[in-house]
Amino acid sequence: MKMKKSLFVTAVAVSLTACSGGGGMPNFGNDEYPVETIGTNSASLQSTYPATIRGIQDVQVRPKVSGFITKVYVHEGQAVKAGQVLFAIDSETYRAAVRQAQAGVNTARAQLNTARLTYENNKKLFDKHVIGQFELATAQNSFATAQASLAQAEASLASAKETLSWCLVKSPAAGVVGSLPYKAGALVSASSPDPLTTVSDVSTVEVFFSMSERDILGLTKTAGSVGEALKEMPSVKLLLADGTVYGHPGKVVKVSGVIDAATGAYSIIAHFANPERLLKSGGAGQIVIPRTNSNAIVIPQEATASVQNKLFVYKVGKDNKVNYSEIKVDPQNDGNTYIVTSGLSVGDRIVVKGLTKLTDKMKITPVTLAAYQKSIDDAAKLGAKQSSASGFVGAMTGK
């Protein structure tokens, strides 16, 4: 009985060994490699640019008069309306100036009344031929001078009152209050180094970023002009500092007319709606501009070899010999494919897998990627069967 069992196990082992081909590897030649012919595809990419956020209107608030701040009516980040009082500056000196100007008006008005009475009396005397033309003209001139003096005094009073009103510093626009470098008791003036605060209208924000001259030239050549390029430019996104994408799309609205000599770039402005007031003036982020290329040469990244920051592919010639060729790709990629900008043309053939076993000028047998993958799958199945058979033989022999 034991002899029969031994003979059965031996037969099974021999049979499985014969079926497996002696090694469980795919049954195709070592010179077979998957080859694909280059075509064109539609590729969607995006370019990112560092950006700075500003309110649509950032207004520095500065005092028009000198004095000590007596009260601060707002706090940082508070939303204010146009004309709302922000600060109060000591006004006693300016109130005294108003009282003095008012006194000047009263004096001028009294002098005007006297001059008017004199002039009217002289007209009656002149009509009765009591006085001559000279006396009448003198009274008339005095009356006119008194009128001018009153007007001057009233102007001085209006100026004093306006100066007094400047002691209440009001918001020039609706927006959000920025930092408050000065507190109550601080001495401020129009020449103070820092503004009292900045009021930012952030209902819409301007996002500033820069694009290289090369990128702008590319847009201009395609559209015909910068203006047309702006019209055709798609909506842009704003990547916030925490890595999230802002919920509202933006629109590029302005491009500077000159290139910054220091950076060699154009300054560009995009507008974003900010109804939730999430974006703050002075913030930072990244502008994301989508790009679509309908005639792009797209290849899988595994079809390339990287050597010293350069990328290479194996082109397959008509004689089926491979040529180690350098290519250049778009720096933006999705992690799986590259968009080739130079080094490959439509109709070229390249090896897409197994590059580590290739050498330059090596002759290969091209196969399709599907056939190559099927051979690998078949080899994997044979390997699994061989492993299972080995376990079975071991169990039967007690090993």
Q: Assess whether 149 and 136 both reside in one domain.
A: yes
> How far is the C-alpha of 88 from the C-alpha of 165, rounded, in Å?
10
Tell me if 22 is assigned to some domain. no
- Give the pLDDT of residue 369: 87
Tell me if 236 is assigned to some domain. yes
Q: Assess whether 113 and 134 both reside in one domain.
A: yes
Strands (E), 62-174: 67-72, 79-80, 85-89, 168-170
Q: Assess whether 76 and 109 both reside in one domain.
A: no
Residues 364 and 316: beta-carbon distance below 8 Å: yes
Q: Assess whether 187 and 224 both reside in one domain.
A: no
- Give the pLDDT of residue 17: 40
Number of domains in the chain: 4
Range of the domain at 147: 91-164
Tell me if 247 is assigned to some domain. yes
Query: Hey, what are 359's tokens?
Result: 């050498």
CATH of the domain at 217: 2.40.30.170
Q: Assess whether 234 and 261 both reside in one domain.
A: yes
CATH of the domain at 113: 1.10.287
- Each residue's pLDDT, cut to its tens digit, for the chain (399 residues) gives 343 434 333 333 333 343 443 333 344 457 889 999 999 887 777 788 999 999 888 899 999 999 999 999 999 989 999 999 999 999 999 999 999 999 999 999 999 999 999 999 999 999 998 999 999 999 999 999 999 999 999 999 999 999 999 999 999 998 899 999 999 999 999 999 999 999 988 889 999 999 888 777 777 766 677 777 777 788 899 999 998 999 999 999 888 878 877 888 888 999 999 998 899 888 999 999 887 777 889 999 999 999 988 999 999 999 999 999 999 998 877 788 999 989 999 999 999 998 988 999 999 999 988 888 887 777 777 766 666 655 544 554 554
Q: Assess whether 280 and 216 both reside in one domain.
A: yes
Residues 367 and 34: beta-carbon distance below 8 Å: yes
